[in-house]
Structures are given as C-alpha cells and as structure tokens.
Amino acid sequence: MLRLTASEARQRASWAAARLLHMGLVSGDRIAIAPRHEKDIEQAQLQQSRITISVWAALSIGVIPVMVNPDLSEREHEYILRDSAPGVVFNTTESLVALTSDFKVPHSLPLDPLGRPMHYTSGTTGKPKGVWSGVLTPEAAAGLWATEIDMWGCSSSDTSLVHGPLTHSGPLRFALYSLMAGGDVLLPGWFDADLHAAAIAEHRPTIAFVVPSHMQRLLERPSGLPDSPYRMLVHAGSACPPVIKEAIHEWAGAENVWEFYGSTEGQFTVMPGTQWASRPGSVGRARPERELRIIDGTIWCAPPEYGYFEYWGDPEKTAASWREIDGKRWFTVGDLGRLDVDGYLYIEGRREDLIISGGMNVYPAELEGEILACDGVHDVAVFGVTDERWGQKVCAAIVGDVDLDLSALTMRLRQSLAGYKQPKEFFVVEQLPRTASGKIQRLKVPRQLGLE
C-alpha cells in the first residue's frame, strides 16, 4: 500500500506545474490524463499517486486536466482525446512520473487550485459530453475548495483510503481534499476487498469515499472486517440498498456515515447517517451555498458561482440545462424527485435513459446502437434491474433471428465498449413495448419479463 503524504504531493506538484509551464501551457489550456490500467500492483499504486499530483499541479496554474477513464474502449478513448483537444496527453505511468519528477525551478503553488478537472458524461445519446467549469478566479477557487474541505472536516491528522479509480470525480476529489488539508492518502492500486480490509486493519484510515458495491464486497468477506477506524465514511454514486446501508451503519457507526447526491455536473445534497433512519429513502438536504427546487417533477439546483459549468462544445445542451429564476442560475441533470416540508430530497427516478451500475453511468442508447449493428438483431431495449451488489444491473432485451448467436454478440461488445457498460444478462423476446409514436418504453420491459 503506497502512502502519499501532503508534503511529497505538494513538492512534486510544484515541480510538475513548473514543467507544464516550461512546455508552453497557459491558463485555460487542457491536458489529458489517460493512462491505461497497470497489471503490476506497485506500478498501479505509483500511477495513482502521480495522477493525483499531476491534477493538483495542472489546476494550480489554471490548466484543466481531462480525466479519461481507462476502462473505455479504444474508440471511446480516442473520441474524448479528439473532442477535448488537449495540449499534451499523458497516457502512460512513465509520462506521469516524468512530469512529477524533480525540476530545477519549482513553481510556487497557490493556496487553492484554480478549477475542477473536466470529466466526460456518457450522454443520453451515447455521445460523451465534457463538463467544463473553466478557470476560476482565486476568490472563487477559495470558495470551492474551502467549502468542501470544511464540510468534510478534513485536517492534517486524516488519512484517506482510495477505493475507486482516480480518473473518477469522487475518489479524486476526496484524495485532493485530504492532501490539501495536510493529510495522507493511501493508494492501493485498485480495489480488492482483501487488500482494503488489510489496509483498514494496518493503516487505520480516517476517511474514505466509496460506492455501495465497494462496501457490499467488503462486508461479504467470509473472514469479516476489522473494527472500523473511520470518522467519516462517505458513499454516493448509486442507490444504496437499505440492508447494505444498515450494515454500514452497524459497522462504522451511523454518526460516521454520510451520503451525498450529485453528478458529474454538480453536487446537490448531503445526508448524515444519524438522520437516515428517521427519513429512509432521502438523500438529504441542500449542501452549503445551494438551493433546491422541484419544477414539474424535475430536480433543479442553484449553485454558487464556482459551481457553474457548461457542456464542452455543446451550447444547446448547456442552454437546456440552465435557467434563471428569481435572479439566480439553476441547473438540472434531468433527475426526478420531491422535497418534503423540511427540505429533504427524495429521488423518485433517475433519468429514464440512465442506468447507474456500481457507481458508473450507463446510457442505453449507446449500447442499443452497438447491439443493433450485430447480425440477426432486429430490435433491442437496454434497461436496468435492481441488484443488491451493483445498485442496478445492465440488461438487454433483444428481438432477433431464431439462430441469434448471443456469444458472438457478447464478444463484439467486449471489443467496442467499456466492461461496465456491457449487459450482464440478455433476454430474447418476441416484441418490445413501445408508445404509439414508436418510442421504446424501457420502464415496462422488466415488468414484461417478470423482473419486478
């Protein structure tokens, strides 16, 4: 287990920032952080450390890192690189190590990084969209980072254990919060229940960000878990089944467990574990400096100015996601919900087109296009089914030839799509439910198959 200290991270970030400036990069430029997975665990840990440091370095000079998920297929990977047009691409561990190595004249890091990394959403059409927040003023940057670090109470006495990939927003943010507050970060290389249980026992981390499937795999270990060391165990990314939530509370203590609801675009709510039992199903109230409203059943949020964003290269989608109400700017990601009289939010439906599996967003339209391109497939509907481990399991209902080869179809999808997007189960049906206008009624498919 690699331990990255705040002092090492800050030193290496100052070298990397100076090297980026020496390369000719300026504020507003982009770099791509796009290495593939390492098979050796020590190299994987090294990669994680240098990703974190490189992001801190770039943001300190107003250069925005584009985070590219290593699980993407080559086609998806190349699309993001073309679309974001980075000035430099760091696509190997070696290139990140070189970036963060000793440089003769280090750059003095500002108190707060001047922005947020750009992450890509899959998009309802399957075409990924970059969420671009631009370069912040020092005042806005101070508001962004101070609000988060203060909300989670991060300090120099904290040690954060990373569970998810650092190209993802949640794991990366919590690693940066800990380092900026002067604490340490434990980097395992990848998630493994036995490895993480050993780290909990040996290193006694105080903070962790997880998705529910991480905790389920930890709690299912035959040998159990050591006593919880966490003062703050934060989960998000997908719906947490009540039985798992209760088990997490029993292990870590409800007072130490927090949930939040957010998206790549922005953060909405936070929910202390101590309030969950009295309001089961809620994801909490508006986070600091935010307001929530329900308009025609859809959740809207008014963030502070440092929470504004646009979709990279897509002004129409940006305009559709924002509106001005009472002199404030409000955004939505299309999720449905309700607020109770005390301001607690309840999610009544994610976007119909969105499946959240193991904390990852999967959009059916993208998979359906790939499946329809296969020989013998006449019609298809991709949908999610509630699953205790994944939150939702990706499934596909197919109308096709009698001799349709599902094995060949599976092999094709493995070549063109990230593993987390691939259906875990296929169903062959005679027809799919559609509206009078011909639109697939995805929410009816599980019912038709007797899965509800």
Confidence at residue 37, expressed as pLDDT on a 0 to 100 scale:
95
- Distance between CA atoms of residues 257 and 426, nearest Å: 36
Contacts for 352 with CB less than 8 Å, ≥ 6 apart: 442, 443
Distances (CA, A) of 321 to 266, 311, 318, 335: 12, 9, 5, 12
Q: Determine the pLDDT at residue 125.
A: 53
- Encode the chain (452 residues) as per-residue pLDDT tens digits: 999 999 999 999 999 999 999 999 999 999 999 999 999 999 999 999 999 999 999 999 999 999 999 988 898 899 999 999 999 999 999 999 999 999 999 999 998 999 999 999 865 555 789 999 999 999 999 999 999 999 999 999 999 999 999 999 999 999 999 999 999 999 999 999 999 999 999 999 999 999 888 998 899 899 999 999 999 999 987 667 778 899 999 999 999 999 999 989 999 999 999 999 899 889 999 999 999 999 988 999 999 999 999 999 999 999 999 999 999 999 999 888 899 999 999 987 666 668 888 888 887 877 887 888 888 888 888 999 988 888 899 999 999 887 888 888 998 888 888 888 999 999 999 988 875 545 677 878 998 898 87
Sole residue written with tokens 């013998």: 376
Q: Cα(92)–Cα(95) distance, rounded to whole angstroms? A: 5
Phi and psi angles of residue 234, each rounded to the nearest 5 degrees, phi first: -110, 130
CA 272, CA 157: separation in Å to the nearest integer?
A: 22
Task: Report CA torsion sign: 317, 321, 326, 328.
Answer: negative
Q: So what's the pLDDT on residue 438? A: 55
Model pTM?
0.83
User: Amino acid identity of 53?
Assistant: I
Residue 199: which of 166, 172, 177, 226 has the closest Cα? Answer: 226
Pairing of β 328-331 and β 322-325: antiparallel
Any idea what DSSP says for residue 444? G
Structure tokens at 328: 């404030």
| Assigned CATH for 355-448 | 3.30.300.30
Residue 218 has what pLDDT? Answer: 95
Q: What is the pLDDT of residue 258?
A: 96
> Amino acid letter at 124?
T
Give me the pLDDT at residue 351, please: 65
What values do phi and psi take at 393, rounded to 5? -105, 130
Confidence at residue 437, expressed as pLDDT on a 0 to 100 scale:
46
**Predicted pLDDT of residue 210:** 94
